[in-house]
Structure 1
Amino acid sequence: MSQKSKVSNQSAEPPRDATRESAAAWRDGEVEQDLTDALNQSDSSSQGTPPSNTVPYNCNGEYFKLLRFGVDSLYLSYQGELFPEVKERLAKLKQLAQHPEADQQAQAQYAIAGHILEVKDKGSSIFPYVMEDGAFRISLSRTSKKTPMAYVKVSSRYLCSIKPAEAEKHLRDILKELGTLDSSAHVSRIDLCADFVSPENMESWGRDAWITRGKKIDAHAVNEKFTGWSIGLGGKISCRLYNKLIEIHSSGRTDLVPLWRETGWQENEPVWRVEFQLMRDVLAEHGLISLDTVLANLNGLWSYASTEWLRLTLPNPDDQTPSRWPVHPLWGYISSIDWETDFNTLSRSFKPERLPEDKRILTLGISSMACFMAKHGITDFDEGLDRYLLALHQHLYVSGEFIGLSAEDYLLEKVRLRGKEYNTILNINEADQERLEVEKAAKNYRKASEGE
């Protein structure tokens, strides 16, 4: 049976709206009983979870339709030591990234395990070397027992296409090519998110409805349009409830759209995301340090964040004790997501390149051509295109001649720079490539001789 059919055939029947009637029903326990009954009727995929506090993941109805949930971002650290030859190479690549000549900057790349990582021109005092593509941002330190060898951000886009444990396995294979690892992956930060559809008016409650241990509660709007809430930003735990559709228009996260469609999203439905950011301090307080232990306790972390650290309530003006206020119907569904279910469809279109949309690139080209035609009073398309291309070639010729390059080489220099930025073109020259192959063979021989 397909994932979509499982959702439709086993969905619970949630409240149909967010009126006072549904709120009262929640207070009287009727909604809670509906959720418990739905759980008891679900198949073996939800067995083993406490019926009193866990809603089946497929609770998709008119009031609350869950589209997907998962790890949004993951920050990992590794103890170890860089190989001397890797450290030397990174230092040279960083110098290339800082070089005033574009052809030298374009060679600041590190090709490894199917990735063409851009080497950044800047790092930090702790992590001087930084490499990045669409899957990983890898910060590497010099030798120090107190400082991790590597601090890595695993991207949200990558985590939509692969499970966190598998992503970490691939990352570990990369890091083993760079140095000796002394420990398993430690989690410095993890972001957990859930995308859903609901007719609930997210602006209908005030700040007093949020019962939280966080210090800050803020409402947000863009061009007078309400976009969401943020709670506890800057603390060791924080939460955001925001309109994801508005956010992806600026971020370009179009990879999420087909994943939503597979779980029943319709084009006219607003998509909201609730997202908890948990820092290392709070994970350590719960005895969770390694990635394995964190991933094994996602249900507990979500429950702690959404029931103990933060709750959305229905304020009761007749009761001066907020801790007794009933949970808002929406929050009842959100806090009850079962992280042990295998609900999400993974993206099949991920590539580690950081690519802008063609639409954006072409829009810039149209704007440039329109400016040129308007400046010269041209309204005929064919004439405008011919004259624009001629002027562009002349500009390339003059610009290249100024620095001793042909028009073609001048343009290719720009292409290589963009290829480095987008992780699409490996610009390293053949001599350097041969030298790197020799170094890699020597390192593999050394590891084999040492019995690794």
Structure 2
Amino acid sequence: MLRLGIDSLYLSFSGELTSTALDALSRLKALAQSEHLEEQAKAQYPLAGHVFIVYDKGERNFPFVIEDGAYRIKFSRSTKKLPMAYVKVSAHYLAHKSVQTIHEELQGILSELGSTGLPLVSRIDLAADFASTLSMESWGRNAWITRACDIDAYSKDQHFTGWAVGKGGAVSCRLYDKTREIQCSGKTWLFDLWRPSGWVEGETVWRLEFQLKRDFLKTRGLDHVPQVLAALSGLWTYATTEWLRLCIPNPDDATRSRWTTHPLWLCLAGVDWASPQTSLDKIDLRRIPGEDWLKRQQFGLLTTTMALHQIDDHHEAANHLLSVTYEHYDRVALRDGLTFQEYLLAHARKKARLFSTLVNAPGLVDEMKERHEQDNPYRKASRGE
């Protein structure tokens, strides 16, 4: 076994946004919707050391959405039917900090925006990563004994990628090729978690992952973070013994419940959730593209320029690329009444907002809050204005 961990965590916080926070979110969302890049770049909400991007659109019933590399937080307006905030914690952040620490940090962040109670766990995903030479398609659908209705097998480019059981239900399971998935997701930070357990580069890693939603957790009497954390071993045991089991089919026995449990499944079902797990010492909360991606883009532009203009020297090609880029965007900037440098800086700040690399307008949120307090009629009345 290479690693056990909580891969996804969704929390819902009851409560109500303060009028000050609601006004600030509304103003920042309006900035994000602006047609002017310099206004869009200001749509950020710095909170407790996090630099959140404020999106120009909300989601169903949640008009405000903010995000950085740790959290994606959706806010509702004042209502008793919906939580004040619905939070998705990133897998990367869960690999860095304990759930209890994250729980406390979120309560601190959200207390700056409104009054909240203890959060409900809306969803938790438990994952076990392991290396095996066993073919995961060496059995058929009938080998799965489960309470779910749906069992699906997946492949891509003639390569078997995994199984999904009970997709969309209150409990669901995936057994899939994690190393292949990382080629698409770019989550190479997982390699640093696997190496201490003996993983070597190039070795295929499979993940067994159970997704447990609120409807199921409620039936077990599990509402809040401490309750769920205390029940991890029991949840895993239920999922791997009662809800789902991989067996060796016995054609001579029509009673499937008597079939022998597959040795692989015995190993996976018996993992110890109380054992200490590796974590990442440091992570980058900026939402930036990887250096490898950036280098590929630059290399592609350079080689394309050399091929198009029959240039053999890379210095000459780089200078040519910069020159034609400047000439084109200088004209574009002029149409907007800007210099090239102003136009370039506006786009750079837009990217800084998307990547959460810096605060483009320091103090802006504080100014919004102060202005709201000054314009508040109740506040004015208390001052005798």
The answer to whether the superposition gives a TM-score over 0.5 is yes
Secondary structure of the corresponding residue to residue 12 of structure 2: strand
Partner Cα separation in structure 2 for residue 205 and residue 433 of structure 1: 57
Q: What are the residue-to-residue correspondences of 1:325-404 with 2, within 5 Å?
A: 325-342=259-276, 344-404=277-337
The structure 2 residue matched to 1:117, chosen from 52, 63, 73, is 52
Matched residue, 2:153: 219
Deviation per CA, 1:270-289, whole angstroms, max 9, x where unpaired?
11100000000000011111
CA distance in 1, matches of 2:280, 2:114: 31
> In the alignment, does 2:22 pair up with 1:87?
yes
| Separation of aligned partners in 2, 1:381 and 1:109 | 39
Shift of 1:441: 11
1:162–1:434 distance in 2 versus 1, CA, 3 Å: closer
State yes or no: 1:296 paired with 2:215: no
**Whole-angstrom distance in 1 between the partners of 2:154 and 2:2:** 23
> 1-side partners of 2:265 and 2:284: how far apart?
35
The one-letter code of the counterpart of 1:398 is: R
Q: Quick one: which amino acid aligns to residue 340 of structure 1?
A: A
What's 1:268 paired with? Answer: 202
**Deviation at 1:437?**
7.6
Please identify runs of 4+ aligned residues in structure 1 that moved more than 3 A: 436-442
SS in 2 for 1:313: strand
Give the length in aligned residue pairs: 375
* One-letter identity of the residue aligned with 2:358: I
What is residue 9 of structure 2 aligned with on the other side?
74
Q: Distance in 1 between matches of 2:107 and 2:315?
A: 54
TM-fit CA distance, 1:360: 0.6
The 2-side partners of 1:274 and 1:300 are apart by 16
Structure 1 Cα separation of the partners of residues 365 and 46 of structure 2: 10
Matches within 5 A, 1:95-110: 95-110=30-45
Given the alignment, which residue of 339, 345, 364 partners 1:412?
Answer: 345
Matched, 1:242 2:170: no
Q: Which residue of 60, 69, 74 maps to 1:139? A: 74
Gaps of at least 5 residues in structure 1 are 1-65, 447-452
Segment drifting more, 144-153 vs 404-413: 404-413
For 2:121, which of 187, 190, 196 is the aligned residue? 187
Which of 324, 333, 345 is the matching residue for 2:258?
A: 324
Question: Match of 2:260, SS?
Answer: coil
TM-aligned CA distance change 1:439 to 1:323, over 3 Å:
farther
Give how far 1:168 is off: 1.0
1:364-421: CA deviation from partner (whole Å, max 9, x where unpaired): 1221222222222223323222212211222232221121111111111111111111
Output the CA distance in 2 between the equivalents of 1:276 and 1:218.
15
* Partner Cα distance (2:196, 2:248) in 1: 33
How far apart are 1:290 and its partner, in Å? 1.0
Aligned CA distance change for structure 1 residues 191 and 434 (closer, same or farther; 3 Å): closer
Three-state SS of the structure 2 residue aligned to 1:95 is helix
Q: Deviations over 1:347-366 (max 9, x none)?
A: 01212211210111121122
TM-score (norm 1): 0.80
Kindly report the root-mean-square deviation, in angstroms, between the aligned alpha carbons of the 2 structures: 1.7
Pairing 1:138-217 to 2, within 5 Å after superposition: 138-181=73-116, 183-217=117-151
Rate the CA distance shift 1:268–1:382 in 2: closer, same or farther, 3 A. closer
Name structure 2 gaps, 5 residues minimum.
Answer: 380-385
SS at match of 2:240: helix
2:164 and 2:174 in contact (8 A); partners too:
yes
Q: TM-score, normalised by structure 2?
A: 0.94
* 1:9-37 residue CA offsets vs partner (Å, 9 max, x unmatched): xxxxxxxxxxxxxxxxxxxxxxxxxxxxx
Question: 2:24 touches 2:369 (CA, 8 Å); kept in 1?
Answer: no
* Separation in 2, partners of 1:254, 1:440: 44
**Alpha-carbon distance in structure 2 between the residues aligned to 1:383 and 1:124:** 48
Query: 1:273 aligns to what SS in structure 2?
Result: strand
Q: Which AA in structure 2 matches 1:400?
A: A
Q: Work out whether residues 3 and 128 of structure 2, in 8 Å CA contact, stay in contact via their aligned partners in 1.
A: yes
AA in 2 matched with 1:426: V
Task: Give the SS at the match of 1:253.
Answer: coil
Pick closer, same or farther for the CA change 1:185–1:434 going to 2, 3 Å.
closer
Query: SS in structure 2 opposite 1:241?
Result: strand
Separation (CA, whole Å) in 1 of partners of 2:371 and 2:306: 54
Q: What is the Cα deviation at residue 125 of structure 1?
A: 4.0
Q: Distance in 2 between matches of 1:154 and 1:125?
A: 19
The answer as to whether partners of 2:20 and 2:372 remain within 8 angstroms in 1 is: no
**CA offsets 1:62-87 (integer angstroms, 9 cap, x no match):** xxxx0110110100001111010100
Distance (whole Å) between structure 2 residues aligned to residue 69 and residue 199 of structure 1: 19
Compared CA separation, residues 291 and 381, structure 1 to 2 (3 A): same
